[in-house]
Structure 1
Amino acid sequence: MIKILLAIFGIQIVYVTAFTLRMILTLKGLKYIAAAISTFEITVYVLGLNMVLQYLNHWSSLTVYALGYALGIIIGAWIEEKIALGYVTLKVISQQMNGHIEKALRQKGYGVTSWVGSGRDGERSVMEILAKRKNHEKLYRLILEVDPKAFVITIEPRHFHGGFWTSVIKR
């Protein structure tokens, strides 16, 4: 019975990991890769479900099935974080009006669009920076290193048209 439980657990982890990745890829617009994963995913799902249904009279099989599901979500999310598909836009609002943040970010290779905004307490430097998602944390830390009081919002854009990044993104 231990071998059956381990098989159910392993199959469920693989299934839910594939399910999680497929959902994320679908949301990112990578429908053909998501469709390919779904073919594998549903095959694994049916195998796992069949095993659980054969041993439904053993509470341990359902418990292992549920635990495998939970662990599969964690592993799928972890894998997605590591491959970090897509881009993020950081909107930064700073009290520093000297251009120091923009210069520091540009020296590190980031494209920065900036303008002067009007806040409750006066003028602010407003910036937008588009970056690969895998560089998000490094960029965020750099911004706060230069201006620890900066207001930073991260947005995940879906569509791009025109500008500096368009030719880079299409590659």
Structure 2
Amino acid sequence: MDDLQRNQTTAQQAENLEEWEVNPLRDHELHSSKYFQLLESRRRLPVSLRRQEFLDIYHDSQIILVSGETGSGKTTQVPQSILFDEWASGKKVACTQPRRLATTAVATRTAAELDVTLGEEVRYSVRFERKTSKMTRLKYMTGGLLLSEASRDRDFSAYSCIIVDEAHERD
């Protein structure tokens, strides 16, 4: 992870880190066997196949609109690509979800894909429920909680990137 530089990470660098036997996000603990099974299926997702193209656009743009079929990996893989790219910033990546159930489900899935404990490196926040840690680097939350955070920190200074997933008119 020390070789990663903000807005300069390549897909190959991230893929190399993902293939290590040790988990760079977990103080170099060994990856579980399930991790490698999930990694194999993640690599077949359409979004994963275009990871470098996405990163190139991300490095050059402040706002990106990503469109793709349901199940293409937008909700889980895009935040993970950004997490690796923003790692050197030392800040969190936020990703909103429109509903509480979706928020907890996608955070659980992403934690499993990264082979970390939910509530530590990957966490979620929904009304009346939070899985939190000082180790958090990727945070899933409802749009309402993001707005609540804005009332306390208008600059979102804790975040290097905010992803608004599934934006709706009422949001």
| TM-score > 0.5, shorter chain as reference | no
Compare the two structures and name the one with the higher helix fraction: 1
> What is the TM-score with the length of structure 1 in the denominator?
0.27
> What is the TM-score with the length of structure 2 in the denominator?
0.27
